[in-house]
Amino acid sequence: MLNTFFYLAALIYAVCAFLPSRQPRAIAAGTLLGWLLHGGALAADIIAPGSLRLGFATVLSATLWVSVAAYWLENRNFSLDGLRVLVLPCAAIAVILPALFPGSVVPLQGKSVLFPWHVAIATLAYSTLTVAAFHAVLMALQESRLHTRPRLPGGGLLAVAVDRLPALLTMEKLLFRLIAFGFGLLTLTVLSGVFFSEELFGKAFKWDHKNAFTMLSWVLFGLLLAGRKWRGWRGKTALRFTLSGFATLLLAYVGSRFVLEVVLHRGLA
């Protein structure tokens, strides 16, 4: 029964992704319905008395769930139809992943009360920086569209959506707001992982590939914000740092857990 809600949410996301942009009310209502179904099914799947079900699929699904909410809210203030064309198809795929890859049950007995908060903050950090990555892709497409418009007067759904985006400067301001917020959440995730590792996970902090990739991502986003403040970094430099930081963060948890769970068939340690 639970899987039915996952598949239904995926169907609604997919339909909303390809609806014509001239139907904003239908898109907004459908996206909200899909988001509610997605969230309800995800909560029922993850949360159980005294335990959490975690894995690369649930984390990725939760990340896209928050990303859909960010798109829906941002689109009420700015015309970000291009974000819909990128976020909703990804969400349609991510929402069904927990049904295919259920992950592992992690008992909360003996773990700190901080553990669920650590997971929640980490997921919010991933989600915010995921939306930032979508913004960076849109900005790259927007800049390319400006340069190729004389040769490409037409275009498909994405091209039309990109044409409706706010000005590049507005998009850039939104991008750095997202990165600053996501960096703050990622900092809390890193600090809690380093200083409360034994209390959170029942073992001392150790340098593994997950922690190394997380720290590298944190450094990249930190450098970008510092470069923005003191050197005025923007444009292609900002986009490269954003996408590199996001790719590194994706490898930190989702990539490593995918290899362990799907390739090596190992549960959560």
Considering only CA atoms, which of 197, 227, 231 is closest in space to residue 214? Answer: 197
**217-60-1 Cα angle (round to 5):** 170
Token pair listed for 147: 């340069």
Q: What is the pLDDT of residue 69?
A: 94
Note down the domain range covering 228.
Answer: 2-263
Residue 218 half-sphere exposure toward CB, CA atoms < 13 A = 18
Q: How confident is the model at residue 78 (pLDDT cuts 50, 70, 90)?
A: confident
Domain-embedded: residue 119: yes
Q: What is the pLDDT of residue 151?
A: 47
Domain-embedded: residue 96: yes
87-126, pLDDT tens digit by residue?
999 999 999 999 888 877 888 776 777 778 888 898 899 9
User: By percentage, how much of the chain surpasses pLDDT 70?
Assistant: 85
E strands of the chain, at which residues?
Answer: 47-48, 51-54, 104-107
Considering only CA atoms, which of 236, 78, 232, 250 is closest in space to residue 167? Answer: 78
Of 21-30, 158-167, 216-225, the least confident: 158-167
Q: In whole angstroms, what is the distance from residue 84 CA to residue 161 CA?
A: 9
Instruction: Give the residue with greater pLDDT, 96 vs 192.
Output: 96
Q: What is the pLDDT of residue 96?
A: 94
Q: What is the mean pLDDT of residues 180-206?
A: 79
Domain-embedded: residue 84: yes
Domain-embedded: residue 28: yes
Q: What is the pLDDT of residue 153?
A: 47
Domain-embedded: residue 269: no
Q: What is the pLDDT of residue 64?
A: 94
120-164, pLDDT tens digit by residue?
898 899 999 999 999 999 898 888 777 665 444 455 666 777 777
Domain-embedded: residue 61: yes
Domain-embedded: residue 268: no
Residue 115 half-sphere exposure toward CB, CA atoms < 13 A = 19
Q: What is the pLDDT of residue 185?
A: 94
Q: In whole angstroms, what is the distance from residue 103 CA to residue 161 CA?
A: 36
User: How many domains would you assign to the chain?
Assistant: 1
Instruction: Give the residue with greater pLDDT, 115 vs 62.
Output: 62
> Against a cut of 0.75, is the pTM above it?
yes
Q: Can you say whether residue 107 is alpha, beta or left, with left for phi > 0 and alpha for psi between -120 and 50 degrees?
A: beta
Domain-embedded: residue 50: yes
Instruction: Give the residue with greater pLDDT, 211 vs 173.
Output: 173
